Amino acid sequence: MPELYRELNKLADSEMYPFHMPGHKRNLESTPMKGAFRCDITEIDGFDNLHDEEGIILEAEERANRLYGAEKTFFLVNGSSCGVLSAVSAAVREGGRILAARGSHKSFYHGAYLRRLDISYLPYKQDDRYGIPDSYTAEDVKKALDQCDETPQAVFITSPTYEGKCSDVAGIAKVCHERGIPLIVDAAHGAHFGLRRAQGYGENGLGVPDSAVHQGADIVIHSVHKTLPSMTQTALIHVQGKLVDQGLLKRFLRIYQSSSPSYVLMSSIDLCMKEIEENGEEFFTKLLYYREKIQKETAGCRHLQVVGRNDIEDPAKVLIFVNKHAMTGQKLYDILREEYLLQLEMAGNYYALAIISGWDKEAGIDRLITAIKEIDDRIIDNPEGEETSQQCEGVSKSLLPEVAVPLYEAWDAVKEKVNLEKAAGRVSGEFINLYPPGIPILAPGEVVSEEIITQLKGYLDKKMNLQGVDISEDGGGTISVLS
Amino acid sequence: MPELYRELNKLADSEMYPFHMPGHKRNLESTPMKGAFRCDITEIDGFDNLHDEEGIILEAEERANRLYGAEKTFFLVNGSSCGVLSAVSAAVREGGRILAARGSHKSFYHGAYLRRLDISYLPYKQDDRYGIPDSYTAEDVKKALDQCDETPQAVFITSPTYEGKCSDVAGIAKVCHERGIPLIVDAAHGAHFGLRRAQGYGENGLGVPDSAVHQGADIVIHSVHKTLPSMTQTALIHVQGKLVDQGLLKRFLRIYQSSSPSYVLMSSIDLCMKEIEENGEEFFTKLLYYREKIQKETAGCRHLQVVGRNDIEDPAKVLIFVNKHAMTGQKLYDILREEYLLQLEMAGNYYALAIISGWDKEAGIDRLITAIKEIDDRIIDNPEGEETSQQCEGVSKSLLPEVAVPLYEAWDAVKEKVNLEKAAGRVSGEFINLYPPGIPILAPGEVVSEEIITQLKGYLDKKMNLQGVDISEDGGGTISVLS
């Protein structure tokens, strides 16, 4: 079977001269980006069309599809973001209602805004030990659905989370299907899930969780660049079952993606799928070996704790938590970066998050282990203990503000800025997020209560990263509200 | 000043180890895509954030901005498509009205659909000599605006066209601004315009038309991959003046683009801008020399005519027209590809279109010239003359179907398939395009008239490429209409 990358190289090696886009004409003498430019073409004869695939791109999508086993798999060149936009747009009628986890990625909110959806929320849940978003049970979703005045047309959850926690997708899918509505799973961080099971390693995949596709979700979005070896901005969307109109999904994929999709990005997805197909065993063996090694060799640390697989099921996520808050996550992150030249993915309040994959090098893993142990030793010598609370600060969990105006109206409405002190009872005009974890405390259209004002002022006092609040000259905050 | 590509390479050469996305970890031993993977990172410290740029990406955007001279320039990694979606979404209120050229790119229609816009049309104009979409005058736009029942909130045109024809952007901008409404120019094919003037070559840029930015358009979208040496899927959007809310434009750019934008694509835009800044003189000298050489050396052809710069102002477009329709465009295109290994951009009814740039090689240009002359000779020996009409077939020019249901309602409505014969009076549920040029004959919501049915049957009889019409078993056509 022809592969996209091989065919692109055959073209580059041929005598065929390009009198078409792109304007760089694959002129490698002129560019330092030789590897990328060599395979960068437009839709010429023999190279199919992402938006109407019937040849080599369709075959590549089918290769990916075989690994995950959905009815249909599409390549995405505008990231999981465009997959989420398309899923939300296709699964719910314009103006309809959707039930979504409050901590959904911003692309969920963007989709709901564009399609004028009313949103019911699964309240934000937090794992208080580490201050990270928690997963959902089937019971959580059942309860939220029962509480909706009007049955939503779809349910939207994120699993695994950014930090690697997994919801009960199979149970949640069952709850949705009993009501005849589709489940959309934003599994952007879980593209590596289920692939080991697919290789015959049994249901539990010897340490890699099952995929949302196999667990019965109707639409699943996978970033292949996050935990698998594909290029940034590449992703997959899988669809199955009768609850989603696949033609409509395809329409929205055409809308939210460039009509000039990059062959470099597409061939990177295809190479990644081929790598897993052919060398997946090695990829996952290494990933699990690295994960286990980090856990084991840092087990003796007294202040730094690599959170175990019971709490964070995803083996690709290494969350290094600072026990008793002896050091902030940002400080840990900075030391790792500046002193050890280890660039981590993010810093939380009291943790730093590393992403590992089967393409890591053992020398890199060893450097991380050494760094964790040395920093842990240093904390013994020089305890910082800025905070002593064992509970992590986070978005108030049960708090779901009253919706006065739908998101799509409020975000487009005329607004003004007011001091936080004077905002009580007003309607928010923007998103206000605490980062991390980036969950909306207020979305446009929601009423600013006294309780939320107190919460926001608390975050400001602690100089936490509050997005959507401007700091005024007197140190107070101003927010955008509807006029 | 730091440049994105240089900084990415410095990072790749450093000891900094990646415990972050992407999952390929820049592990060059494992991938054949070395050049692309080496510079592929996520938003780590020091590398800014496309959606909230304040460092190296902002500086790169400012470098691009200096070349074009708008108030503000943004990088696009989801093609001009996302630029058009964002421009239309930001310039017109949700549910508002826009005046647009009927032959606009599909991303225009997508934007109008998502934002529930009512559309008034500038009727399709055709250059009948070659059967290609024609440009617009200020008078055309003035007349169309005067005919609107309700003043649109923006005007949307495409200039240059795919085939290289240029509208009077300055005059049209003046007409718009007299009415206090913004002009959006889809100049996806004109990223090279105005850059030579910017280099001090005078107002006419010695043969490269002026840019829509300099001519006063409020928003201009430029594909940098089409005629400049950047990677496929890269583009720029420029905004200026008080008629467009720049904050709103930024919101929509965040919505329509991945939250994991590719640094390879972004650095390719930056390298392209640097190339024009530093070597633009050579780029344009070569482009114009190639264009002139093709014109001059094929001037003696009797059947094949390279359409001159008076008719097609864009020097990057070489439209090879078959006089007296002695051969179809597809046949010309096929011969160039199969016998001469010259891959052209597209085939029209009686022409083939080549794109050239300053990065072409003279040997390639010479191969094209030789091929044109040899094929021309062959036509003398063996005239085909399938058609003798001097007028080119095309979309009926004055025909603007009656709108029964707005696009955004009709495209989402319940539909059924009917035979063309029985479709009179029904409301179209899909786009029906003749390709090329790909202009809608019917958009969703428009009434299927007897006249249009006759026209469509004529195209089917001639086996022209009619998108949106299914061929039924008896050879007739069926289309989708509202139930």
pLDDT band at B67 (very low <50, low <70, confident <90, very high): very high
Residue A118, both tokens: 């009313």
Residue numbers in B near A261 (CB within 8 A)? 79, 232-233
Tokens 């939250």 map to which residue?
Answer: B259
**Residue A265, phi then psi, degrees to nearest 5:** -65, -45
Using only the alpha carbons of chain A, give its radius of gyration. Answer: 24
Alpha helices in A399-449 (DSSP H): 407-410
Put simply, whether B382 touches A (Cβ < 8 Å) is: no
What is the average per-residue pLDDT within B19-33? Answer: 91
pLDDT band at A436 (very low <50, low <70, confident <90, very high): confident
- DSSP H or E segment with residue A38: helix A34-38
pLDDT for A363 beyond 60? yes
Put simply, whether A37 touches B (Cβ < 8 Å) is: yes
Cβ distance of B27 and A258 shorter than 8 Å: no
Bridge partner residues of B118 (DSSP): B97
Minimal CA separation from B43 to chain A, in Å: 9
**Residue B346, phi then psi, degrees to nearest 5:** -160, 165
pLDDT band at B390 (very low <50, low <70, confident <90, very high): very low
Q: Which residue has the higher pLDDT, B206 or B456?
A: B456
Residue B19 is nearest to which of A31, A229, A343, comparing CB atoms? A343
pLDDT band at A390 (very low <50, low <70, confident <90, very high): very low
3-state secondary structure chain B: CCCHHHHHHHHHHCCCEEECCCCCCCCCCCCCCHHHHHCCCCCCCCCCCHHHCCCHHHHHHHHHHHHHCCCEEEEECCHHHHHHHHHHHHHCCCCCEEEEECCCCHHHHHHHHHCCCEEEEECCCEECCCCEECCCCHHHHHHHHHHCCCCCCCEEEECCCCCCCCCCHHHHHHHHHHCCCCEEEECHHHCCCCHHHHCCCCCCHHHCCCCCCCCCCCEEEEECCCCCCCCCCCEEEEECCCCCCHHHHHHHHHHHCCCCCCHHHHHHHHHHHHHHHHHHHHHHHHHHHHHHHHHHHCCCCCCEEECCCCCCCCCCEEEEEEHHHCCCHHHHHHHHHHCCCEEECEECCCEEEEECCCCCCHHHHHHHHHHHHHHHHHHHHCCCCCCCCCCCCCCCCCCCCCECCCHHHHHHCCEEEEEHHHCCCCEECCCEEECCCCEEEECCCEECCHHHHHHHHHHHHCCCCEECCEECCCCCEEEEEEC
Least confident of A36-40, B34-38, B432-436: B432-436
What does the alpha-carbon distance between residue A113 and residue B252 come to, in Å, rounded to a whole number? Answer: 11
| pLDDT score, position B80 | 97
Residue A263, both tokens: 């062959």
**Residue A432, phi then psi, degrees to nearest 5:** -120, 120
| pLDDT score, position A387 | 46
Least confident of B8-17, B23-32, B161-170, B387-396: B387-396
Put simply, whether A35 touches B (Cβ < 8 Å) is: yes
Cβ distance of A260 and B80 shorter than 8 Å: yes
- The 10s digit of each residue's pLDDT in B40-52 is 999 999 999 999 9
**Residues B251, B115: contact at Cβ < 8 Å?**
no
Tokens 């398309």 map to which residue?
Answer: A86
**Residues A65, A121: contact at Cβ < 8 Å?**
no
What is the average per-residue pLDDT within B33-39? Answer: 90
User: Which chain B residue has its CA at the smallest distance from A227's CA?
Assistant: B23
User: Which chain A residue has its CA at the smallest distance from B365's CA?
Assistant: A19
Residue A33 is nearest to which of B35, B93, B408, comparing CB atoms? B35
| pLDDT score, position B389 | 45
What does the alpha-carbon distance between residue B465 and residue B474 come to, in Å, rounded to a whole number? Answer: 18
Cβ distance of A225 and B22 shorter than 8 Å: yes
What is the average per-residue pLDDT within A173-186? Answer: 98
Percent of chain A with pLDDT over 90: 84
Residue numbers in B near A256 (CB within 8 A)? 256
- The 10s digit of each residue's pLDDT in A273-331 is 999 999 999 999 999 999 999 999 999 999 999 999 999 999 999 999 999 999 999 99
DSSP-derived 3-state class of residue A367 = helix
- The 10s digit of each residue's pLDDT in A219-260 is 999 999 999 999 999 999 999 999 999 999 999 999 999 999
Residue A228: name the closest of A196, A261, A272 by CA.
A272
**Residues B221, B188: contact at Cβ < 8 Å?**
yes
Residue numbers in A near B30 (CB within 8 A)? 229, 275, 359
| pLDDT score, position B274 | 93
Residue numbers in B near A259 (CB within 8 A)? 79, 81, 105-107
| pLDDT score, position B476 | 85
Put simply, whether A259 touches B (Cβ < 8 Å) is: yes
Cβ distance of A355 and B82 shorter than 8 Å: no
pLDDT band at B198 (very low <50, low <70, confident <90, very high): low
**Residues B236, A267: contact at Cβ < 8 Å?**
no
pLDDT for A59 beyond 70? yes
| pLDDT score, position A105 | 95
Put simply, whether A113 touches B (Cβ < 8 Å) is: yes
**Residues A225, B21: contact at Cβ < 8 Å?**
yes
Cβ distance of B19 and A79 shorter than 8 Å: no
| pLDDT score, position A389 | 44
Residue B259 is nearest to which of A81, A346, A357, comparing CB atoms? A81
| pLDDT score, position B393 | 57
Mean confidence (pLDDT) of chain A:
92
pLDDT for A435 beyond 90? no
Nearest 5°: CA angle at A480, between A476 and A481? 115
What does the alpha-carbon distance between residue B92 and residue B89 come to, in Å, rounded to a whole number? Answer: 6
| pLDDT score, position A397 | 53
Nearest 5°: CA angle at A383, between A380 and A389? 120
- The 10s digit of each residue's pLDDT in B234-287 is 999 999 999 999 999 999 999 999 999 999 999 999 999 999 999 999 999 999
| pLDDT score, position B387 | 46
| pLDDT score, position A472 | 78
pLDDT band at B68 (very low <50, low <70, confident <90, very high): very high
ipTM over 0.90: yes
End-to-end CA distance of chain B: 61
How many CB atoms are closer than 10 A to CB B210?
Answer: 19
Nearest 5°: CA angle at A317, between A315 and A320? 120
DSSP A89-114: HHHS-TT-EEEEETT--HHHHHHHHH
- The 10s digit of each residue's pLDDT in B273-329 is 999 999 999 999 999 999 999 999 999 999 999 999 999 999 999 999 999 999 999
Residue numbers in B near A232 (CB within 8 A)? 21-22, 40-42, 260-264
Percent of chain A with pLDDT over 70: 94
Residue numbers in A near B355 (CB within 8 A)? 19-21, 23
- The 10s digit of each residue's pLDDT in A64-119 is 999 999 999 999 999 999 999 999 999 999 999 999 999 999 999 999 999 999 99
- The 10s digit of each residue's pLDDT in B466-475 is 899 998 777 7
Put simply, whether A433 touches B (Cβ < 8 Å) is: no
What is the average per-residue pLDDT within B457-482? Answer: 88
Q: pTM for this structure? A: 0.95
Cβ distance of B23 and A359 shorter than 8 Å: yes
| pLDDT score, position A398 | 55
The interface residues of chain B toward chain A in range 183-202, judged by CB-CB distance below 8 A, are 192
| pLDDT score, position A388 | 43
Put simply, whether A465 touches B (Cβ < 8 Å) is: no
Cβ distance of A42 and B229 shorter than 8 Å: no
- The 10s digit of each residue's pLDDT in B157-192 is 999 999 999 999 999 999 999 999 999 999 999 999
What does the alpha-carbon distance between residue B241 and residue B245 come to, in Å, rounded to a whole number? Answer: 9
